[in-house]
Chain A
Amino acid sequence: MSQWLEQVIDAAQISDYLAPVRQQALEKLKADGWPARRNESWRFTPLTPVEKREAKQAVQTESLPIPAIDNLNAIDLVFVDGVLVTQINTLDVPAGMSITSLNNDDAATQQAISSVYGQVKPTRHMFGLVNDALCQHGIFINVEADAKIDTPVRIVNMTSQDVDAHTRVVVKLAEGARATVIEQGFGDTESLTTAFAEYDLADDAHLEHYRFAMFTGKAKQLGGSHFKLHNRTTLNSTMVGYGSELSRLDVDIHHAGEFADAKMNAIYLLAEGELFDLHSTIEHAMPNGTTEENARGIVGDKARAVFNGRIHIHRDAQKTLAELNNRNLLLSRRGVINTKPELEIYADDVKCAHGATVAEIEEEALYYLLTRGVSRSKALVMLNFGFIQELINDVPNTAVREWLAPILSERFAQMEVK
């Protein structure tokens, strides 16, 4: 057992309406213990930076400047060092949507939250269980049936000092509702963030989702976004991962209804000694669902990328269309990419494809561009950024797309090629 996990278990003493879920999570944490080194889920992502850590409390700090996404007019909800600093009651929320704290006294709201909290996210995620047990700061976003909310909700998680931050987002879209949610996390100082989000998306609902996991340096993040889709639900998700000492995202998409459509694009750009690990699991439990998942990344210097993409097609999920692809560019001999696409199919009338590639810089093409006076960094962007740019071009929100394109190409241009 790790010191950190022991302290986490000892500290968990929250008695509120979520106590039954919290208690179950604690029981499972105690029963499972700390993952062994050979544990498949953590095989390429050592947990040593957490194992011997002192568990810490979230602390109220001064609010920090929030990085802007130019031209994005969003409702911002901000957690700093694990504490929700936004005054929710001062927000201007469009009709059909409500935003409340997880700490609230309204019985109906509590019931709605309880129907999602710990119910969408599978219990196999250890840090998800920690979050279940410890999370005190969280928000609940509820969108009424057929409400079409154009204004995106942006949830920002920032860490500035030596803390453990456990934050939670619970989202419920009723039948035919539409909404856009952006989860953005960043920090580079010593800290640990578990930020989990659960989305329960009813029949005919549409969610446009973003997760920007931009923690770097010593900011450890262990988070996840988890989705439950019903009949004809559509999900369009874009994720961006930077790497840090330890950075892991778990994504689950559960097709619990027919004709649901999930599209997920993920980009990771890793430099120096950064690590980023993306584990995704798509469960096709019902027929006629579609999934398209594209994960693409560039790994430079001594960075490490881990990708594990699993698609599980249950016996009844006939006529499923599922595609999963992971493409990587390795810039350096010291960089490491561990990629594992997995298809598990129990239905006999489905169309599925999966693939993974790791490419290296094409020296001859690079030389050709250089002989025409193009700078090395620009030539590398021209030659190698195209497959990332394709996913950026795919971002549905214009402001987000125009914000991402330059920051990602800049990050790539600064990555060391050796």
Chain B
Amino acid sequence: MLSIKNLHASVEEKNIIKGLNLEVKPGEVHAIMGPNGAGKSTLGYVLSGREGYEVSDGEVSLNGKDLLELEVEERAREGLFLAFQYPVEIPGVSNMEFMKESVNAMREQRGEEPLTAAEFLKKAKEACKQVQLPLDFLKRGVNEGFSGGEKKRNEIMQMILLEPKLCILDESDSGLDVDALQVVADGVNSQRDGERSFIVVTHYQRLLDYIKPDFVHILADGKIVKSGDASLALEVEKSGYAFLGKAYEEAEA
């Protein structure tokens, strides 16, 4: 599915990712944890192709395609989905208009006919219900005036509608109460079908009680410094990142 080899990336000439390796196979859920400033969000931006995030070395392939050669929208159409930590508010563009355009771009990529307005509305309403957002959210501006929790649920709704192959969830649990967390986790779990893969970036073990990871990786100072199974997350929860020793102190500095 996704193969990252020796990835180096920088923002404004500051090296953030420093030799990251990661293999994600179909159907797997990988959690990435790590202290602040380790490069967790940067990884999502680099993989999605955000402008200003320069890759200086390494290779990334998604289903055999060289991801780094593709434009942002092409990566999305290849099945990469990034759920944002802070989704952008776009007044003046309705959720409905936006998602219809987006869903039909994916369908075109798969060689399918575009959905009619009625067909799309039906799907959108179902997805909306699934993440417990009121239906009038479809008519409102993208994320306009949404609470933090509503924005996160809107991201999950988009994920459900777009049916991506690889989902990167960037702190989709931050700022959520337990009920909202459950809704987000249920949304994610409903999309686990043995083929679709997930990279779950989080600070807290809590989310991983709801979304069971196959692997947990600790990212510190731009590299994965430790990998293990779900028990690694529990260890972090209990004793923090002290085991990282010197590397952690540098990352925090």
Contact = CB atoms under 8 A, between A and B. Distances in A.
B90 A378 contact: no
B76 A372 contact: yes
A371 interface: yes
A125 B97 CA distance: 45
B128 interface: no
A365 B142 CA distance: 10
Given A367-B72, A370-B73, A372-B98, A383 B48 contact: no
Contacts of B121: none
Nearest to A384: B92
Interface string B48-73: 11110000000000000000000111
Nearest to A367: B50
Given A378-B101, A382-B97, A382-B98, A371 B92 contact: no
Contacts of B87: 368
Residue with the greatest number of chain B CB neighbours at <10 A, chosen from A369, A373, A382, A387? A373
Nearest to B74: A373
Nearest to B45: A367
A387 B88 CA distance: 19
**Majority SS at the chain B contact face:** helix
Contacts of A10: none
A368 B81 CA distance: 11
Interface string A359-390: 00001110111111111101100110011000
B162 A373 contact: yes
**A interface, over-half SS:** helix
Contact of B76 (A373, A382, A386, A387): A373
Contacts of B158: 372
A369 B98 contact: yes
Contacts of B92: 383, 386-387
Given A382-B101, A386-B93, A373 B51 contact: no
A383 B93 CA distance: 7
Contacts of A363: 51
B189 interface: no
A345 B90 CA distance: 38
B109 interface: yes
B90 A365 contact: yes
Contact of B105 (A365, A368, A375, A387): A375
Contacts of A378: 101, 105
Contacts of A372: 76, 98-99, 102, 105, 158, 162
B106 interface: yes
Given A374-B101, A375-B73, 17 more contacts: A365-B88, A365-B90, A368-B87, A369-B98, A369-B102, A370-B72, A371-B75, A373-B73, A373-B77, A373-B102, A374-B98, A376-B71, A382-B97, A382-B98, A383-B92, A386-B92, A386-B93
Interface of B: 48-51, 71-73, 75-77, 81-82, 84, 87-88, 90, 92-93, 97-99, 101-102, 105-106, 109, 142, 158, 162
10 contacts: A368-B87, A368-B142, A369-B93, A370-B49, A370-B76, A371-B82, A373-B77, A379-B73, A382-B97, A383-B92
